[in-house]
Structure 1
């Protein structure tokens, strides 16, 4: 009894029926029973009703890659779509699979890895600079149009990024202030200069630790929140929906977060400075026999307001950088949960790195200026 899909008579082979994945095992068995095509002088595809990738692969194996590529010449009656499928399968099967693998070399691989990392950092900094320009170009014209300010969103972000962060900032800076005072007194006691612990705590927290610790905490707490929020919106195509409605995502989503950070971080830096001084005063009173009155008198006499202004002047710069990096990484999310996690991690790392870098450059600048 002849097979349903393959018939072979007088040196002529004819293929008919549905050559699809659903009949793959039956097609394979029919071809095995018919033997090699070399005994057939010609082949006809007129009877093919349906053809998919699985069936096309069997036909190409049967007739050979070269003949399959020339199917338009000897099977012109076959529909164009099926001819194109056979040609495509033949081209894919003709691709050599023996790929030459280069022998790994530690030095070249290390240099290549360093080069890729540097190229990635350069591209990342260019994107950050471009996004900063875009935010500023949107923010400056908006300052002259108060009716477009988003007060509700800004106040909500101030509460989330600023007010809710007061306890953790105050607690951390209080403990660091106590540790700095204790370590400073331990060293200064050898020189009989324990009283200068007050100056050490005051200078360190007014100029550096107060604003720096607050910025690092917000980099880990708020920048990651901004990235996760915008990343979730990006993956849910909510940002695309805003653009489709003619709304500007920078104005609606980024500027309220940036403005909230510009307001919150200077206030948190002030809280950090005061908490650090309180921690230092507590250690001085309890362990160093320095009364609170002496602490306040020395602080007022030796520490000028310039140190407070120098430390507070860095807060808006840190706030802007943290907010911009957090929002930019949120816009980079591709749509998967893994992408949200990786960009959230990247935003925290970048924010902390940029805060410390800017703080170091600012310290050198203020030192050269004599402030």
Structure 2
């Protein structure tokens, strides 16, 4: 297998050649509604005053929103494609979503995961029946590894964010948000703040809620999407990014299919520090009794730090809860 730089886009990935659409999001919502209950939309009072609504995707069966895109993608595969199996790239949440959907549909799944992924995510992925191929996040390209495996086996690539079905599936969270707010007489979402890795969730939410401002939030130093949106072109991650607890948001670059949607929607990205993320994790635990992983708390961190304004129609996506227990315990006893 070839191992080009992990920080540069990989050519010749076997990705679907179509654009994601709002109609696709609505079709995905109908499919997912037959399988999964809606996740809660709860109000959170903020320490500085006011409140926001939190979409609690950490309560999905695999602990993250990634189950949405995985189910939409895999359930749309033909019988011939299902027989070939699927390959995915993930630090853990998309891995579990793909493994869960594959097990339900009787599809063989192989996941390319970083060797330093949280053990809780590795164990959960294996428990769901998927095979795992480990790689060095800083020295090897996961996309190149996945490409080579696809070429060798003829398997279908289910990319974590650069796939139109995956984008549409993630967008169903926005359809649910709008439906839940309407049912409670709260109007429509004016702003949805979401954690961002490669932009699958952000671009899906833009398709689902075209009239809402979508704010992607990244950890400091892993802000390739924020910089790309500011520059008007895709920029890869720097060669020496700092350490971050947000394993779910450590993506080296966004893809054209994601960037096109985010740029067309006029998104402006925001970054948050590790300390701000820890404070958000503690607040979610103290006030909502929720266990939120670092990457899943990034959007709330931006609100708490005053980096994103909020009003009565602001929604924060708590995107995942797959956190190592010991690491989470350390966050709770911290004071920064």
Same fold, TM-score > 0.5, yes or no? no
Relative to total residues, which structure has the larger strand share, 1 or 2? 2
TM-score by length of 2: 0.30
The structure with the larger Rg is 1
Relative to total residues, which structure has the larger helix share, 1 or 2? 1
TM-score by length of 1: 0.27
